[in-house]
């Protein structure tokens, strides 16, 4: 049962919102407090959820006929310790602005996803992972504490010592326990904003998984892209890119004078949603070939922008998938039987008739402590599909295969998983999360389209 909502009392402007995949839009009431301290004053207790920069692919930050609290104006730096790199900021602060201000001073986000257009609050709610998960773990590893607005209207501090149940359940908790107002995170000391990198061309899946295993113990950052046109014996062919922060001494002479450069805003944009006709097997083949070429031709030294955020160069690149949008399907499966399972999953994807697009393969390290954090030890693969008639059916088939392999999907990317499948993928953890939700939000104030879909909220 959903709560009846008296719309006349909701603070916010009726707005159609979608996730980054733009595959479903719902109308909610978007409030935009200017300061973290204003959030309590606008909170609508009949159903609300926070929204950062909307980079989750599905319905995590949309809330049909209920309130969405846009946090991006609450983006102030509150304190910085130059000795330790410890930063306290409002939760709407983006990694982009942290990099712009602190990289020139020799500090970089400790853990970053594949885009810098995310907020600290969003990184906490999804407990995001980066290319160095096997070394650094999830975002929770760089968070000391945060303040959170609870359903009761109380603002509390959560850390490893204070309210630890709330602290850990908020990581991966998809904004369903409260609104993070401020956070204290640790940045990483860097000598340069460049990376030493190496690209390794690989011919098939066996070689690819062996290369990932081998290079993960040598380089902290590693990620592979598969050639989705390679089938049969070539299945799993692709490029593995590995790297590490470049020290000053490793930079070529021409970069030494200015080792901490920061990139500007994107210079190219996709102005409108592309017509669906532009997506077809031929265009996919061409784009895929271009990606493989770019990946394998990277120089030995690469700026962070290219190393971490190649897609950030093109503003609104998601519009390239057309009006129906797209989904990114990301899963992790255990190492055990990993090769066999991966082969079956890839074969299912490539023989499905769907148009698989950008993809990323990597190894995850140890499971984190966030109650519903996605990463666990194993192989993780993420792949984009433009939405077509049979896309949902394919994701359902894949869900069954992932479940059977003892794996799970990532809510931050998901749009379609069914509640019973989700629950089975996170055995015992959903129940643990719901117990914390009952404690801190017994009336179900915090809810979202995703929360209701996967039954984490009412
Ligand atoms: C190009 C691209 C690459 C990506 N690469 C990766 C990757 O490598 N690894 C990875 O893990 N993810 C990756 N992502 C996903 C992205 O990092 C996450 O979805 C992240 O949470 C988005 O942050 P956001 O600020 O846009 O949050 P939104 O998408 O706006 O919201 C995400 C969730 O956070 C909650 N939330 C936001 N702010 C708050 C707050 N203040 N308090 C409480 N809850 C809040 C929302 O309610 C929602 O549940 C990628 C996304 C894109 C588009």
Q: What is the pLDDT of residue 1?
A: 42
Ligand 1 probe mutation, 26, 30, 56, 311, most atoms within 8 A of CB? 56
Q: Is 63 close to ligand 1, i.e. is its CB under 6 Å away?
A: no
**pLDDT tens column, 61-85:** 999 999 999 999 999 999 999 999 9
Q: Which atom of ligand 1 is nearest to the CA of 94?
A: 25
At residue 233, φ and ψ (nearest 5 deg) are -65, -20
What is the CB neighbour count within 10 angstroms for residue 148?
Answer: 25
Helices (H), 104-173: 120-125, 133-136, 164-170
Q: What share of the chain is helix, strand, coil (3-state, %, to 5)?
A: 30, 25, 45
Per-residue pLDDT, averaged over 221-227, amounts to 95
Helices (H), 195-323: 205-216, 253-256, 281-296, 304-308
Asked if the domains at 77-190 and 194-419 fall in one CATH topology, the answer is no
pLDDT band, residue 8 (cuts 50/70/90): confident
Residue in this structure with the two tokens 């499971």, named with its chain if needed: 367
Whether pLDDT at 99 is above 60:
yes
Q: Output the CA 122–ligand 1 centroid distance in Å.
A: 4
**pLDDT tens column, 267-311:** 787 877 767 666 677 776 677 677 667 666 667 999 999 999 988
Domain ranges (residues) in the chain: 77-190, 194-419
Q: Is 122 close to ligand 1, i.e. is its CB under 6 Å away?
A: yes
Domain 194-419 has CATH 1.10.10: no
Strand partners, 148: 156, 180
Which pairs from 279-287 meet CB under 8 Å and 24+ separation? 279/321, 279/322, 279/355, 279/386, 280/355, 281/355, 284/228, 284/355, 284/356, 284/357, 285/229, 287/357
The structure's pTM equals 0.96
**pLDDT tens column, 259-278:** 999 998 887 878 777 676 66
Q: Are the C-beta atoms of 52 and 92 separated by less than 8 Å?
A: yes
Q: Is 149 close to ligand 1, i.e. is its CB under 6 Å away?
A: no
Q: Is 71 close to ligand 1, i.e. is its CB under 6 Å away?
A: yes
**pLDDT tens column, 364-382:** 999 989 999 999 999 999 9
Q: Output the CA 56–ligand 1 centroid distance in Å.
A: 5
**pLDDT tens column, 399-448:** 999 999 999 999 999 999 999 999 999 999 999 999 999 999 999 999 99
Q: What CA–CA distance (Å, rounded) separates 282 from 261?
A: 38
Tell which CATH architecture fits domain 77-190: 2-Layer Sandwich (3.30)
């Amino acid at each position: 049962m959903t709560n009846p909502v008296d719309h006349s009392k909701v603070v916010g402007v009726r707005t159609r919102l979608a996730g980054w995949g733009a595959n479903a839009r719902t109308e909610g009431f978007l409030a935009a407090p200017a300061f973290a301290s204003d959030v309590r004053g606008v909170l609508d207790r009949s159903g609300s959820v926070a929204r950062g920069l909307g980079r989750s692919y599905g319905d995590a930050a949309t809330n049909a006929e209920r309130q969405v609290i846009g946090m991006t104006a609450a983006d102030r730096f509150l304190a910085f310790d130059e000795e330790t790199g410890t930063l306290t900021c409002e939760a709407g602060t983006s990694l982009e602005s942290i990099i712009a201000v602190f990289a020139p001073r020799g500090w970089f986000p400790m853990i970053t996803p594949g885009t810098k257009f995310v907020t600290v609050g969003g990184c906490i709610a999804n407990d995001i992972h980066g290319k160095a998960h096997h070394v650094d773990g999830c975002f929770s590893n760089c968070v000391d504490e945060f303040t959170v607005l609870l359903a009761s209207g109380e603002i509390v501090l959560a850390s490893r010592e204070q309210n630890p149940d709330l602290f850990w359940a908020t990581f991966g908790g998809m904004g369903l326990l409260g609104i993070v107002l401020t956070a204290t995170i640790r940045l990483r000391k860097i000598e340069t904003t460049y990376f030493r990198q190496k690209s390794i061309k690989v011919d098939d899946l066996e070689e690819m998984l062996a290369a990932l295993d081998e290079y993960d113990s040598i380089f902290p950052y590693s990620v592979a892209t598969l050639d989705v046109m390679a089938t049969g014996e070539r299945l799993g062919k692709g490029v593995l890119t590995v790297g590490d922060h470049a020290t000053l001494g490793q930079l070529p002479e021409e970069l030494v004078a200015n080792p901490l450069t920061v990139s500007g805003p994107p210079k190219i944009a996709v102005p409108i949603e592309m017509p669906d006709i532009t997506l077809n097997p031929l265009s996919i083949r061409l784009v895929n070939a271009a990606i493989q070429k770019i990946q394998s031709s990277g120089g030995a030294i690469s700026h962070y922008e290219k190393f971490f955020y190649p897609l950030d160069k093109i503003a609104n690149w998601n519009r390239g998938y057309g009006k129906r949008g797209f989904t990114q399907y990301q899963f992790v499966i255990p190492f055990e039987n990993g090769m066999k399972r991966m082969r079956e999953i890839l074969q299912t994807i490539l023989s499905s008739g769907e148009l698989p697009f950008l993809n990323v393969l990597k190894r995850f390290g140890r499971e984190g402590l966030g109650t519903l954090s996605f990463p666990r030890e194993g192989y993780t693969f993420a792949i984009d599909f433009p939405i077509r008639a049979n896309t949902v059916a394919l994701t359902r088939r894949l869900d069954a295969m992932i479940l059977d392999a003892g794996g799970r999907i990532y809510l931050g990317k998901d749009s379609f998983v069914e509640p019973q499948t989700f629950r089975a993928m996170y055995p015992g953890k959903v129940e643990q999360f719901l117990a914390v939700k009952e404690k801190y939000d017994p009336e179900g104030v915090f809810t979202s389209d995703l929360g209701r879909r996967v039954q984490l909220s009412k």
